[in-house]
Amino acid sequence: MSWFTRKKQNIEKNTKKDLPNDLWRKCSCGEILYNPELEASFSICHHCNFHFPITSEQYQDIILDKKSESLFSDISSIDMLGFKANKSYEEILETVPNNKEAVDCFLGEIEKRKVVLCIMNFKFIGGSMGSAVGEKISKAINLASEKNCPIIILCQSGGARMQEGALSLMQLSKISTHLAKFSNKGGLYISILTYPTTGGVTASFGMQADVTIAEPKALIGFAGQRVIKQTTSQELPDHFQTSEFLKEKGFIDFVVNRKNLKNSISKVLDVLA
């Protein structure tokens, strides 16, 4: 029985190694996606064509010719109302890195044409529209007007920022007013709607562009589907509040795969800029 005698005592248990958490991702279609492969393919599900949200740095690489001048990065949110719920607004703001906001603005070029590009960032408090977002986008519109170049706003937002109350809602009219002045002077505005574009952004600058482009299968709407269903007591159509549905109804001009985004914008600039 000597073979049965344990030579080493206190053998460690639980030596099984866990796989890293960020190696796989499950798409809403049920497909399990290998993250390095997903990232190499513009974060698009190869099975159902769903476009996963990506960072403003990644969008910059996709849309602009090269890394460009970052604008207004000194503008950041402050807690004007002393908002407190489970977590105070101040505590939430402390957890985000310096100089980060729910929108990043750049002065750059697309196929050697100067543009001002604003990219919203859903990871910053749901891409919500605080006063700093309103100020940065308004300044970006003014700069586009000064430089006599088009402005492009890539939307990715849950809507208003509840921690700023009515001040957040005021940003709708503030940005819309700047866009109206820009448009009256003949400026070209292109908006790109990505997953998700909802609430106040859809109700204002998301839908006010000369040319509105959307990524495939993006959720785009004002109120949530459950609220609409309960209010109207009606069944909602298939693909309700998706890019494809809104294109069919005439709200959106093109639904464009992320891989072809730069090319499509460039074609619009060829014709209209």
Stretch that binds Zn ion, among 20-28, 135-143, 161-169, 236-244 (CB under 5 A): 20-28
- Residue 162 binds Zn ion, judged by CB under 5 A: no
Inter-residue long-range contacts of 60-64, CB under 8 Å, 24+ positions, other chains counted: 60/106, 60/108, 60/117, 60/119, 62/258, 62/261, 62/262, 63/110, 63/117, 63/152, 63/154, 63/261, 63/262, 63/265, 64/106, 64/108, 64/109, 64/110, 64/115, 64/117
Stretch that binds Zn ion, among 21-29, 96-104, 133-141, 219-227 (CB under 5 A): 21-29
Q: Least Å distance between CB 102 and Zn ion?
A: 26
Q: Least Å distance between CB 235 and Zn ion?
A: 25
In the numeric block, which tokens belong to residue 250? 């005439």
Under 8 Å between Cβ of 154 and 110: no
Please identify, using beta-carbon distances, which residue of 45 and 211 lies nearer to Zn ion: 45
CA gap 261, 239 in Å, rounded: 22
CA quadruple 141, 184, 203, 258: dihedral, nearest 10: -60
- Residue 47 binds Zn ion, judged by CB under 5 A: yes
Identify residues 231-260 at the interface with Zn ion (CB under 5 A).
none
Q: Least Å distance between CB 244 and Zn ion?
A: 15
Under 8 Å between Cβ of 32 and 24: yes
Please give the distance of CA 239 from its chain centroid, rounded to a whole number: 20
Please identify, using beta-carbon distances, which residue of 32 and 166 lies nearer to Zn ion: 32
Please identify, using beta-carbon distances, which residue of 26 and 84 lies nearer to Zn ion: 26
Q: How many residues does the chain have?
A: 273
- Residue 27 binds Zn ion, judged by CB under 5 A: yes
- Residue 31 binds Zn ion, judged by CB under 5 A: yes
- Residue 78 binds Zn ion, judged by CB under 5 A: no
Neighbours of 176 (CB within 10 A): 14
| Exposure string for 124-163, b = 16+ CB within 10 A, e = fewer | bbbbbbbbbbbbbbbbbbebbbeeebbbbbbbbbbbbbeb
- Residue 44 binds Zn ion, judged by CB under 5 A: no
Please identify, using beta-carbon distances, which residue of 26 and 123 lies nearer to Zn ion: 26
Please identify, using beta-carbon distances, which residue of 1 and 23 lies nearer to Zn ion: 23
Q: Least Å distance between CB 29 and Zn ion?
A: 3
- Residue 48 binds Zn ion, judged by CB under 5 A: yes
Q: Which of 44, 45, 116, 220 binds Zn ion (CB under 5 A)?
A: 45
Residues near Zn ion (CB under 5 A): 27, 29, 31, 45, 47-48, 50
